Chains A and B, each alone.
Chain A
């Protein structure tokens, strides 16, 4: 089951570039939350701070507090532990090119020392079913490489890979921006199904997508969060002028 995320006074830098400034935000458990905003506004940096991927860049720095459930991730846990609880799906599908479909899904568990083969088989099947890929790949699980799938299938494979480690939170950084409309709608259907079991945070450029999948939406601009409210309110009656300008297409 998913857990809520509480972010307070979060600041992040790349070198001297202050990319996130004083973010305060409560993301509800077992819902989909969309983050919208123009390119470079800090929304990707924000999700990378939630699983501590931000700090894998040597010039990156972060301050503030992020609670996942009741775990203070910057004070009480190691990055690897957090990343097992907070899965991530990237903008471009990035399956491990030398691994089979099966091994791609099992990678997170195997590389963390999980060896029970029968349980692994079950987890792989369940994860692929959860990501709506099972029927398309079940006959070639071990024969075919993850890289031989189509772009949309690869992205669902990456979702299965993230689900296999049984995370509580699923971060999606523009998961459909590199995909065609059919694949995109499959991913959106998937988000719809998954959000009852996981807390989903999805970064998107596509405002219709945010409107379709998310209950709550946050609008980022120049490293600050301008507005955070129900998706309905953001798209019909935003409180901030800048949000209104953005969603009506006046800039960005």
Chain B
């Protein structure tokens, strides 16, 4: 009850404030200049999708590889301890600091804001969550399962990939979704990287809009219709996150066998 209540309360309030401004235009139009009625956040929705795709492409493979290393190959080594420590510290880095770091490492040398730099910032923020959940899920796989594979004459690396990781995959996927949902709503790391864009863009080397950014800008603005759009944007952001997470769950739960834990 206590777990569900905050989510339900937030959702109801968002529907109350935002649903009235939701219409087809919201999803297919780009923002109109101040003073003109209407306009939507199509660019921000597409922008968020692109940023999250870039982020996941970086965060998921690197995080999973790191987790596999920690749990299976590097157990007890100094390098593993260093990696684990780094991941924990990275997890604690405030998102605004991440934004500034990527700003100075990518945006400044390139000379312009870009979707790419925003995606990198989100991706790096995903790594620690993915990495540590992968490690924990792999450590939960019973040793008997590893031994069963090794005793069949399966080489260790193959046993890790085909048996241990596969056995732990539901948990690993949950970890990835957790990381995804967390960075989907991040605003701070995008301020100095993706920057935002009032027009449509799908290029990685140009500034790009993102839902949280747009909400931030609109909510701070003095205009009532922008406020309404910000509420609608918040509602859409939450719904999209829930949809994305459910979709992944649905796809990965199909084909699971009867009786498999």
Total A-B contacts with CB atoms under 8 angstroms apart:
91
B158 contacts which chain A residues (CB < 8 A)? Answer: 111
Minimum distance in angstroms from A129 CB to a CB of chain B? 19
Taking a contact as CB atoms closer than 8 A, the residue among B152, B154, B167 that contacts A98 in the complex is B167
Residue of A nearest to B259 (CB): A148
Minimum distance in angstroms from B30 CB to a CB of chain A? 45
Q: Contact string, B156-175, partner A, CB cutoff 8 A, digits 1/0? A: 00110011001101000000
> Does the CB pair A80–B148 fall under 8 Å?
no
Q: A90-B144, A94-B145, A98-B167 are in contact. Are A51 and B151 (CB under 8 A)?
A: yes
Residue of B nearest to A100 (CB): B257
Taking a contact as CB atoms closer than 8 A, the residue among A94, A111, A147, A158 that contacts B259 in the complex is A147
> Does the CB pair A84–B150 fall under 8 Å?
no
Taking a contact as CB atoms closer than 8 A, the residue among A80, A82, A96, A158 that contacts B155 in the complex is A80
A143 contacts which chain B residues (CB < 8 A)? Answer: 257-258
**A144 contacts the other chain (CB 8 A):** yes
**B260 contacts the other chain (CB 8 A):** yes
Q: Which of B218-261 contact A (CB under 8 A)?
A: 256-261
Q: A112-B153, A165-B153 are in contact. Are A98 and B162 (CB under 8 A)?
A: no
Taking a contact as CB atoms closer than 8 A, the residue among B147, B166, B167 that contacts A53 in the complex is B147
Q: A97-B260, A144-B257 are in contact. Are A162 and B152 (CB under 8 A)?
A: yes
Q: How far is the CA of A111 from the CA of B166 in the complex (A)?
A: 13
**B198 contacts the other chain (CB 8 A):** no
Q: A147-B259, A148-B259 are in contact. Are A94 and B148 (CB under 8 A)?
A: yes
Q: How far is the CA of A87 from the CA of B147 in the complex (A)?
A: 12
B150 contacts which chain A residues (CB < 8 A)? Answer: 53, 56, 83
B258 contacts which chain A residues (CB < 8 A)? Answer: 143-145, 148
B163 contacts which chain A residues (CB < 8 A)? Answer: 96, 107, 111
Chain A: residues with Cβ within 8 Å of the partner, total of 35
Interface centre among B76, B153, B260 (most CB of A within 10 A): B153
**A216 contacts the other chain (CB 8 A):** no
Minimum distance in angstroms from A102 CB to a CB of chain B? 10
**B65 contacts the other chain (CB 8 A):** no
Q: Contact string, A25-61, partner B, CB cutoff 8 A, digits 1/0? A: 0000000000000000000000000010100101000
**A81 contacts the other chain (CB 8 A):** yes
**A156 contacts the other chain (CB 8 A):** no
Q: How far is the CA of A82 from the CA of B154 in the complex (A)?
A: 11
**A238 contacts the other chain (CB 8 A):** no
Minimum distance in angstroms from A247 CB to a CB of chain B? 30
Minimum distance in angstroms from A203 CB to a CB of chain B? 14
Chain B: residues with Cβ within 8 Å of the partner, total of 26
> Does the CB pair B152–A84 fall under 8 Å?
yes
> Does the CB pair B260–A98 fall under 8 Å?
yes
> Does the CB pair B154–A53 fall under 8 Å?
no
> Does the CB pair A53–B151 fall under 8 Å?
yes
Q: Which of B168-204 contact A (CB under 8 A)?
A: 169
Minimum distance in angstroms from B170 CB to a CB of chain A? 9
B153 contacts which chain A residues (CB < 8 A)? Answer: 80-85, 108, 112, 165
Q: A94-B147, A98-B167 are in contact. Are A161 and B260 (CB under 8 A)?
A: no
**B96 contacts the other chain (CB 8 A):** no
**A88 contacts the other chain (CB 8 A):** yes
> Does the CB pair B260–A147 fall under 8 Å?
yes
> Does the CB pair B145–A88 fall under 8 Å?
no
**A92 contacts the other chain (CB 8 A):** yes
> Does the CB pair A148–B260 fall under 8 Å?
yes
A53 contacts which chain B residues (CB < 8 A)? Answer: 147, 150-151
Residue of A nearest to B142 (CB): A94
Interface centre among B142, B167, B169, B257 (most CB of A within 10 A): B257
A81 contacts which chain B residues (CB < 8 A)? Answer: 153
A90 contacts which chain B residues (CB < 8 A)? Answer: 144, 147-148, 151
5 pairs of A and B residues whose beta carbons are closest in the complex: A148-B259, A84-B153, A108-B152, A83-B153, A145-B260
A-to-B contact residues, CB < 8 Å:
51, 53, 56, 58, 80-85, 87-88, 90, 92, 94-100, 107-108, 111-112, 143-145, 147-149, 158, 161-162, 165
B-to-A contact residues, CB < 8 Å:
76, 142, 144-145, 147-155, 158-159, 162-163, 166-167, 169, 256-261
A-B contact pairs, 21 of them (CB 8 A): A51-B151, A80-B155, A83-B153, A85-B153, A92-B144, A95-B148, A96-B145, A96-B148, A96-B149, A96-B163, A98-B169, A98-B257, A98-B260, A107-B149, A107-B154, A111-B163, A112-B154, A148-B259, A149-B259, A158-B148, A165-B152
